[in-house]
Chains A and B, each alone.
Chain A
Amino acid sequence: MPTVDLSQPLTGRVWKYGDDVNTDVIFPGKYTYTKQDPEEIAPHALEDLDPSFAGAVQPGDVVVGGSNWGCGSSREQAAGCLRHSGVSAVIAKSFSRIFYRNAINSGLLVIAMPEVVDLIESGQEITIDLTAGTVCSAGRSWPIPPKSDSLRSIVLAGGLIPATKARLEAGQ
C-alpha cells in the first residue's frame, strides 16, 4: 500500500464529503478487532460512505470534509485506513478530537480550514506543500494554520510510535 512522503509537495485529487462523517462509515466497527494491518485496513476505507473510494483513490489524494470529521469511536484504523490508502491529508472545517489525535499519531496530516472547505470541489486538483505551508487548488492558495512543533514533529516522524521510539532510544 502506498504511503506518502510529507516533506515533498503533494498533488492529488479531492474527495469531498459532508458534515459529521463518523468513524463507523470511515472504517466499519465490525472489523476493529479483526483487521489491524495496513494492507488489511486500506481496502475498507470509507466503505459505508463511498464504496467507490478504496478502489479508485491515488497516492497524494486529499479527503475534504465538513465539520466534526471523524466523530464517534476511538478506533485508530479510521485514520490509518486513509493514510494507508495513500491519502496525504484530510482537510475539514473541524475534526472530532480523537480522530484528530489518531491522525497525527498515525502520520496522517489533518488540517482544519473552516473557511476554505466550501471553495473546494470534488475531483479538483489540489497541492499541499508543508514546507511552504500552503494549500493550492483551482488557482487559489491558502496558508496552512501552524501546528505546534511537537505535533509537527510527530507527523513528520511518520506517527507517534516512531517519534516515541526515537525519544526512548535517545534516553529522553
Chain B
Amino acid sequence: MTFVQKALARAAGVESAEVGQILDVRPNIALSHDNTAPIRKIWQRLGQDRVAIPERMAFTMDHAVPAPTPRHAQNHQEARDFAAEQGVSNVFEVGRGICHQVLSEEALVLPGQVILGSDSHTPHFGWMGAFGAGVGRSEMAVIWATGEMWLRVPESMKVTITGELQPWVTSKDLALHLIGRLGADGGLYRSVEFHGDGLEQMSIESRMALTNMMAEFGAKNSYSPADEKVVEWLTPRLAARKDISETEAREEIRDSILAPDEDADYVEEVLINASEVGQQVACPHTVDRTADVGELSTIKVDQAFLGTCTNGRIEDLREASRVLKGKKIAKGTRLLVIPASSEVMNQALSEGLIQDFTEAGAMIGVPGCGPCMGNHSGVLAPGETCISSANRNFKGRMGTPEADIYLASPAVVAASSVLGRVAAPQEVVS
C-alpha cells in the first residue's frame, strides 16, 4: 500500500484501503483559523449544543492579525468565546503565528496521523509523514459535529529527488520546477510522495516548503518520510507539550510512523536531479508560469515580501540575511519581513537577523499571514509589482487584481529588494 492508503485506513479504523474507496475518516486534528467564527455559524445550523470532538479541534488566529477592522476583531472574539464554551484548549492567539507552522511547532500532529484543515495548505503536514488535506467550512462544521468526514482514497504519485541542490538553490525552486514542469494540475487529486537521497539531505524547514507547495500542484496531500531528522525535530516539542520525558516522546512518535510499502502502486513516477534545478520564479498570475531568475532581470519590484507558511521560517530568514546584511534596500522598493511564528521571531531576534533586516531598511510584521491573501498589512496598489516568498500569485491575491506577483525563494526576494528588480543573490553577494 502507498502511504495514503495506510494513513486513511488507520484513521478510518479499517485494515486496508483500496484506491477510489470512500472512507469515513476520523482526523486526529481538525484545524481552523480566522474562519472559526463563520464555521461556528454553520455548525449552529446543525442544532447541536456541544461539539463532538473538542480535544481534537485546534484554532489559530493568524490570517488577519492584529485585527485590521472591527469585523476581523469580532471574528477572533467569537472564536475565543466558542473555544471557552466548548472546552477547546488548543487555541493559539494572535501573534503566535501561522496555523501550519504553529501546529508543527506544537507537535499537535504526529507522523502517520491525519489532519484535516479548513485551509488549502494543509498538505503542508506531509513534511513529517502525516496526511494533511484541506476541506471547506461546511465540512469542518460537520467534522466538529460528528468527528468524521468522507474522503476518497487518492491515487499516489512518486517524486524521487536525487543529488544535491546548487548553492542558493532551495526546495522552493525544486517545488516551482516540479509545478512548472508538470503544470498546476500535475498532482490533481493525488497523494504526492517524495523520496530519494536528495530529500534526505534536506533540512526540516526545506521539506516543509516543499510539501506546503504541493497545494499549488493540485495535490490532495503530500508525503515526505518520517526519518530521524523528523523524529528529532518533534521530540522535544512533544515532550514539552505533554510534559513527558524525551524518551517517552520519541517512542510515541516512532510508534506513530507509517511508511509506504516497497512495492506500492504509483500512477506516475517523476525523477528530479536536484543539481540540475536552477533558481526559479513563478510569473503572474499562475504558479506554473515559471522562468529562470536571470530571464526576469528587467522586472522592477515595488515590494518584496518575505514570510508566509511556505518560506517564513528561520532557515529562510537566515538565507535572506546572508544577502541583506550590511546592504540597503533599493530606493523606491520596500521590504516586508513577517516571521511565520513567534518561535521563529524569537530565534531571529536572538541571532540578530531582525536587526540585519531593519538596518537594511525593512519593515517587520507580526507573525501571521500578513498580506499573503490580501487582507491587510502590506497589500499592493494597482499597477505595482511584488516579489514574494509565498505560494500563490493569483490575480488579486494581494488585494488588487491590477498588481503583479512573482514568487521566488527567500534569497531571490532579498536580492530583489536590494537591486529594486528581480535579481539572483549572486548579483548582490559574491
Contacts and interface: CB of A to CB of B under 8 A. Distances in A.
Contact of A97 (B69, B220, B394): B220
Interface string A13-52: 0000000101111001110111010000000000010000
Interface string A70-90: 011111100100000000000
A68 B185 contact: yes
A164 interface: yes
A112 to B, nearest CB: 11
Interface string B132-155: 001111110110011000100000
A127 interface: no
B80 interface: no
Contact of B394 (A25, A34, A96): A25
B23 to A, nearest CB: 12
Interface in B113-145: 118-120, 134-139, 141-142, 145
A22 B38 contact: no
B305 to A, nearest CB: 15
A169 interface: yes
A67 B185 contact: yes
Interface in A64-120: 67-68, 71-76, 79, 94, 96-98, 101-102, 105-106
A49 to B, nearest CB: 8
Contacts of A76: 136-138
Interface residues of A, number: 39
A60 B319 CA distance: 53
Given A164-B142, A164-B146, A33 B71 contact: yes
B229 interface: no
A71 B38 contact: no
A10 interface: no
Nearest to A49: B395
B397 interface: yes
A74 B136 contact: yes
B401 A48 contact: yes
B145 A168 contact: yes
Contacts of A20: 184-185, 286
A131 interface: no
A165 interface: yes
B185 A94 contact: yes
B47 A169 contact: yes
B46 A165 contact: yes
Interface residues of B, number: 48
B72 A164 contact: no
A161 interface: yes
Contacts of B220: 97
Interface string B42-64: 10011110000000000000011
Given A29-B374, A73-B373, A97 B185 contact: no
A164 B24 CA distance: 14
A12 interface: no
A98 B46 contact: no
B162 to A, nearest CB: 29
B22 interface: yes
Interface in A117-172: 148, 150, 159-161, 164-165, 168-169
A94 B184 contact: no
A33 B67 CA distance: 11
Contacts of A106: 136, 138
Nearest to A103: B136
A24 B141 contact: no
A161 B47 CA distance: 10
A25 B188 contact: no
A94 B118 contact: no
B55 to A, nearest CB: 20
B218 interface: yes
A74 B185 contact: no
B118 A74 contact: yes
Contact of A101 (B42, B139, B401): B139
A98 B134 contact: yes
Contacts of A34: 69, 71-72
A33 B75 contact: yes
Contacts of B75: 33
Given A30-B399, A68-B218, A71-B184, A160 B22 contact: no
23 contacts: A22-B394, A24-B394, A28-B374, A32-B373, A33-B34, A33-B35, A33-B63, A33-B64, A33-B75, A34-B72, A36-B38, A68-B188, A71-B184, A73-B120, A73-B373, A74-B118, A96-B218, A97-B220, A98-B120, A98-B136, A150-B150, A168-B145, A168-B146
Given A20-B184, A34-B72, A36-B41, 20 more contacts: A25-B396, A29-B375, A30-B373, A30-B374, A33-B64, A34-B69, A48-B395, A48-B401, A68-B185, A72-B394, A73-B120, A76-B138, A96-B188, A102-B139, A150-B22, A161-B138, A164-B142, A165-B47, A168-B146, A169-B47
Leading 3 A-B pairs by shortest Cβ distance: A68-B185, A102-B136, A24-B394
Interface of B: 22, 34-35, 38, 41-42, 45-48, 63-64, 69, 71-72, 75, 118-120, 134-139, 141-142, 145-146, 150, 184-185, 188-189, 218, 220, 286, 373-375, 379, 392, 394-397, 399, 401
